[in-house]
Amino acid sequence: ERSCFFTSLTSTYEEDPSLSRVLERLAATIAKRHREMPEGSYTAELIAQGTMRVAQKVGEEAVEVIIAALEGKRLAEESADLLYHLLVLLEEGSIRLEKVAKVLNERHR
């Protein structure tokens, strides 16, 4: 089925809730926002503020994860926020998700 905008009304992504697929899609979206810097995009606005601000947001989100863990509330939501901001920081530093995966894999051995 197609809309009046000639785009499919069905999701362009297969529903795959695995963390690796979600992180890959999110990292790709963040990279696209970085390249295009669309007006009104939170990601673009955050990147425009510079590495220091992005790093600060990662720190703030990490603290919120700690608080959520101690209170036993919203840990999944706060963890999602932390992962998002970490992916923005990685994009800002030109570090691909695959490089992080390689480091984790090497440490796991």
pLDDT (tens digit per residue) in 19-66:
999 999 999 999 999 999 999 999 999 999 999 999 999 999 999 999
Q: Which of 87, 70, 68 is nearest to 78 (CA)?
A: 68
pLDDT at 13: 52
- State the Cα–Cα distance between residues 79 and 68, nearest whole angstrom: 9
Q: Is the pLDDT of residue 3 over 50?
A: no
Name every residue whose Cβ is closer than 8 Å to that of residue 22 and which is 6 or more positions away in sequence. 16
Please compute, for residue 13, the number of CA atoms within 13 A of its CA located in the half-sphere on the CB side: 12
Q: Which residue has the higher pLDDT, 6 or 17?
A: 17
Question: Quick one: pLDDT band at residue 5, thresholds 50, 70, 90?
Answer: very low
Q: How many residues does the chain have?
A: 109
